[in-house]
Amino acid sequence: MAAIFQAIFYRPIFNLLIGLVNVIPGHDIGLAIIVLTILIKAVLWPLSARALKQQRELQSLQPKVDEIKKQYAGNKDEMGKRLMELYSKEKVNPLSSCLPLLIQLPVFIALYSALSHGLKSSGFDLLYPFVSDPGTLDPKLFGLVPLADPNYVLAILSGITQFFQARMMVTKQQPKKVPGAQDEQMMVAMNKQMMYTMPVLTTFIAWKLPGGLTLYWFVMNLLTIAQQYLTMRPVKVVASDAVAVAAPKQ
């Protein structure tokens, strides 16, 4: 399993990092990390965009979901059946948002290992034949910001961007108190809780990580915020005849 992980995730990412260092003027590993982050985001962009689109579609279907839960409040089995029929008809998968997270986890672990070796100028024995061995690397951004040790400014910036990223995903309008819709109420409460706890947790973890990995985290958060802004733009709400169609207020 370790050999498969190394061949599929770690080695390609490590070689890409060192390859970028070799071609970037000044051999700046900080700039290489930023470019690497952009490339990883570009690869994952379609998958993340699809997950965000599914979340937006789920939000637009909420009036119909509320109607079903109100109509079948006393019959959980029939309620579940009707909801599945609705999701199938609208081609929406409520669990689709979990897939990008599952894919990004091994990428993040591989990146952690790649950056750890790159910042320590080690692991060059795993370079592909066409990637030049740089010998040693200066673990700094712009030749000034140290990246081998924890960087507290980047840690705080990562926490701040994590807050705005989470805030964008929280529904602006409170869900209507529809009988049988207690799970939506609970989900909104959990999302609001995560909006404040995740930035603190992010800052705490980044506080102890090498600055190079925190730089990746910070840049990835910025790119995710941009993607969420582009993908989660307000759209008209899908509603049945009993619910007026209206665009969400800003």
Question: How far apart (Å, rounded) are the C-alpha atoms in residues 69 and 86?
Answer: 12
Question: How far apart (Å, rounded) are the C-alpha atoms in residues 16 and 29?
Answer: 12
pTM over 0.85: no
- Per-residue CA distances from 63 to 73, 80, 185, 232, 240 (Å): 15, 16, 14, 18, 8
Q: Which residues contact 4 (CB under 8 A, 6 or more apart)?
A: none
- Per-run averaged pLDDT (10 residues), the chain, 250 residues: 79 87 86 90 81 72 76 74 75 65 76 80 82 80 81 89 80 46 52 73 83 87 87 54 40
Determine the pLDDT at residue 35. 92
Determine the pLDDT at residue 188. 55
Determine the pLDDT at residue 165. 81
In 3D space, the residue among 19, 36, 24, 5 whose CA is nearest the CA of residue 127 turns out to be 19
